[in-house]
Amino acid sequence: MSDNEALVLLEHDAYGIKGAVKLTLNRPQAFNALSESMLDAMEHALQDIGESDARVVVIAGAGRAFCAGHDLKEMRAQPALDYYRDLFARCSRMMLTVQRIPQPVIARVHGIATAAGCQLVAMCDLAVASDDARFAVSGVNLGLFCATPSVPLSRNVSRKAAFEMLVTGDFIDAHTARERGLVNRVAPLAELDDAVSALAASIASKPREAVAAGKRLFYRQLETGIEGAYALASETMACNMMDEATLEGTQAFIEKRAPRW
């Protein structure tokens, strides 16, 4: 087994769902801290998934936690500005890949999700957490403001809630994370996989092309003024209507039957 394969485990047709891929961070002894090798493994795996016919992706963590953020021991061993610039650029590249691949990505969160681990939850399109999960952007406790995690965090939760987390480093629980919009659903740990698989199955049952086009449009319009957003959305819907799956779906609705996808 290669280092990349050991650090990131892939399961196809996960949860018995055709087209679902489960990507598991596999450094349980380090609470799945994002080492340089882990970042590279995730980047390569996500790119491969993005180019495949997969329909939905689940990112999970092995062991007792989802992800504890960057590997601080590795970071402290190389105190050089150029090294840190490269490290955070590589992490940002991986995080952006989560958003750029056509498949919706669900974070399956248990235990802790801290710093870049919380950033990963925020970058995922959807998140389901166990009721004992905890979230923090705690770098400030070490004198390091979580600048890169602040980017997706501030795009998920309100500004004041995000800033409070960033300047205090305090943890929030799963139910607070749901109230603030960081996660979609909360379930008891014993039922976490059932909740994740239900969401994944719902997505996987929809036409892949429509979901992919929708994800691409969703993020583009968020960063665009309202007139430009409507122009992008109108073009997306017009093109989507020409898709065979959409034509079949609308015809099935007219005929009061299930679509033949």
Residues 205-246 have pLDDT tens digits of 999 999 999 999 999 999 999 999 999 999 998 999 899 999
Residue 259 lies in a domain: no
Residues 171 and 222 in one domain: no
CATH number at residue 227: 1.10.12.10
Q: Is the same domain home to 195 and 224?
A: no
Note whether 13 and 130 are same-domain residues: yes
**245 domain-assigned:** yes
In a domain, 105, yes or no: yes
Q: Are 25 and 105 within one domain?
A: yes
Q: Is residue 260 part of a domain?
A: no
State if pTM tops 0.85: yes
Residues β-bridged to residue 127: 107
Do residues 12 and 112 both lie within one domain? yes
Domain that holds residue 245: 208-254
Tell me, yes or no, whether 115 and 47 share the same domain. yes
pLDDT value at residue 1:
43
Q: Are residues 59 and 149 in the same domain?
A: yes
Pairing mode, strands 185-187 and 134-136: unpaired
239 shares its domain with 223: yes
Q: What is the pLDDT of residue 174?
A: 98
What pLDDT was estimated at residue 142?
93
| 193 and 235 belong to one structural domain | no
Q: How many domains does the chain have?
A: 2
Integer Cα distance of 40 and 212 in angstroms: 24
Task: Say yes or no: 241 and 138 in one domain.
Answer: no
* Shared domain check, 213 and 197: no
pLDDT of residue 3: 47
Strands of the sheet with 112-114, listed across from one edge: 112-114, 134-136, 172-173
Q: Is residue 261 part of a domain?
A: no
Counting as low any pLDDT under 50, the low residues of the chain are: 1-3
Which residues, 6+ apart, have CB-to-CB distance to 56 below 8 Å? 17, 19, 20, 21, 103, 104, 105, 106, 200, 203, 204
Count CA within 13 A, CB hemisphere, residue 186.
Answer: 16
Angle between the N-to-C axes of helices 208-222 and 244-254, in degrees from 0 to 180, rounded to the nearest 10: 110
Question: Are 165 and 235 in the same domain?
Answer: no
Residue 60 counted as domain residue: yes
Q: 220 lies in a domain? A: yes
- According to the model, what pLDDT value does residue 125 have? 98
Question: Domain for residue 34, yes or no?
Answer: yes
Residue 139 maps to which CATH number? 3.90.226.10
